Structure 1
């Protein structure tokens, strides 16, 4: 006799998790087999993957299309520099403080921005980011508009020797990527995640079922703000220098991130991973071509949006609903051997 059970995992997703665990072990050992340039590139990939996954959670699931996430990237960098240079806190000890402060600053920002809808919300996020940038430019103790660098004494306190510091920065980038992907995945598998996917599919229907739309989006915004702030702190810990224009760059921390999510597949966990790999492959191949590089990125984005509106992962996933990070519930038959 056949019974039925509801399950999320599949053989493919189980195999994918095993492969992913193997990849993590190999990448964790990268300081022993990769050069310094490779470590910096891998670290940058992990940080962009983190930013893309967080933006995807915000826009792809909560429907909050933000073009001002550079506000939290820059805020994280400036708070890290302030805590280390002015308060005398070690950079590693400052990281959790930075994340908490990022979540706290996201609360009043969300309360203000959530009064706006649609395109007005997107514009509002950009305006808020500009407020952050202009405010940072007025902080004379942090170098004003020209910015500042971490003192050599603070840099040396992070680890003994340049190679050790490179390895530490790499491990932190890898760790935050695992933290972000794990948080996004577990969040989407929770009841809150089910509510978000209901909001994404039909907000009116979700509201009629008793889902608190404002609260659901508020929680996502605050969590995203906190983790984006942490990523921003790691970005500028790696760069060792910060300035308002670099910290709050729309191109670097929002435009390229949106490109990654769009070409990979918005509203999927796998999309930002594929998009990040494609973006860095294009960048490393075409970066020496100057402005042609940006034209090529635009052409790729337009082509994918026309030919594959659901992104590259949408093409791979097809109609079979393949998921490496299973979120959907499936009904499968099981055999009862006792009957």
Structure 2
């Protein structure tokens, strides 16, 4: 946190805690990148799950926590992106990594016509509308006979074995192609997770981020000062669809098999994501990070209890909403004042002042 001399003012967002955290985070990313050198295949798969769910949760948090768009149909973009990847590989014969990019692009394209419909709805109607859209897309994909129809299909073995980067990973680690695919997908998930967090943080610190916060807090007041509420919400909706499509395609490269029911599962790709954000803290970048770790721990501890596991998740979610409405990270911030990704502007300086400041 920089200091300013007398009679000077400065607007800052960083804090000492955030500066220290960025150094720690950089080290953690380097260690995570090296994880395949010392973790087993199952450990890499667990980390892949954590990273992909983190990206989905960050996207939903941006959509609901900052743009005020509560969607329960994000599985539409996960599934559509995954099917776009399968079509790219099976029907066009292209590399799965090209298919991942195609998944993101098709997710963004899907967001344009569906957004035209969904944005005519407000509040709970918007949430229900997004779920209906996801169901329509699922039923449509189930009719695509070239990709297995309702029963789904698998990626050709040669497609993943010959994927760009797999041979290099095999040479580095001396593993079979299936494990090399897991490692490569894990590295891509790590890059995507870091990129998404950095992108969202920079967006929230920009002028567009201020406009987004204004729209979330009071749409009428935001319009009165010149913020185009519809345009900024639509932009966020399309960006989130693009990233979600990328994640969906990457997940199904690693799975190598797809079906409509799995790719468009509301529990796996929306309910868990909402749980992560609500538990961790909506409207804070740190929230999904905390929430995804809590979900993983609960899955590890309670997965053997069958339906009781889902009941436990529901009870924990209700308890957090009742006693910590801003989530676990929000509760921690209220008591400590620590923010790892501060986006609030602080006005510092002034006559005979070198410390302290005022929130703006």
- TM-score (norm. length: structure 2): 0.91
**Mapping 1:109-148, distance limit 5 Å:** 109-148=114-153
Correspondence for 1:239: 255
Matched, 1:13 2:21: no
Residue 327 of structure 2, aligned match among 298, 311, 314: 311
CA contact (8 A) 2:105 2:242 kept: yes
CA RMSD of aligned residues (A): 1.5
Q: How much has 1:336 moved relative to structure 2?
A: 8.5
Correspondence for 2:292: 276
Aligned partners of 2:153 and 2:196: how far apart in 1? 28
Aligned partners of 1:43 and 1:250: how far apart in 2? 20
Correspondence for 1:203: 219
**Mapping 1:35-114, distance limit 5 Å:** 35-114=40-119
SS in 2 for 1:318: helix
Point out where structure 2 has 5 or more consecutive residues left out of the alignment.
1-5, 168-176, 355-360
Correspondence for 2:318: 302
Correspondence for 1:263: 279
Once the two structures are superposed, residues 240-273 of structure 1 have per-residue CA deviations (whole angstroms, 9 ceiling, x without a partner) of 1000000000000000100000010001111010
Correspondence for 2:172: none
Aligned partners of 2:267 and 2:101: how far apart in 1? 27
Aligned partners of 1:34 and 1:154: how far apart in 2? 26
CA contact (8 A) 2:80 2:106 kept: no
Once the two structures are superposed, residues 255-313 of structure 1 have per-residue CA deviations (whole angstroms, 9 ceiling, x without a partner) of 01000000100011110100001111111111011111111111110111111001001
Q: How much has 1:187 moved relative to structure 2?
A: 1.4
**Bigger CA drift: 313-322 or 98-107?**
313-322
Once the two structures are superposed, residues 78-133 of structure 1 have per-residue CA deviations (whole angstroms, 9 ceiling, x without a partner) of 00000001101101122222212221221111111111111111111000000010
Count matched residues.
337
CA contact (8 A) 2:70 2:127 kept: yes
Matched, 1:287 2:303: yes
- TM-score (norm. length: structure 1): 0.96
Point out where structure 1 has 5 or more consecutive residues left out of the alignment.
none
Q: How much has 1:333 moved relative to structure 2?
A: 3.2
SS in 1 for 2:10: strand
Residue 345 of structure 2, aligned match among 329, 335, 338: 329
SS in 1 for 2:341: coil
Aligned partners of 2:196 and 2:247: how far apart in 1? 9
Aligned partners of 2:244 and 2:76: how far apart in 1? 9
Residue 187 of structure 1, aligned match among 165, 179, 203: 203
Runs of 4+ with deviation above 3 angstroms: 1-4, 333-337
Q: How much has 1:213 moved relative to structure 2?
A: 0.7
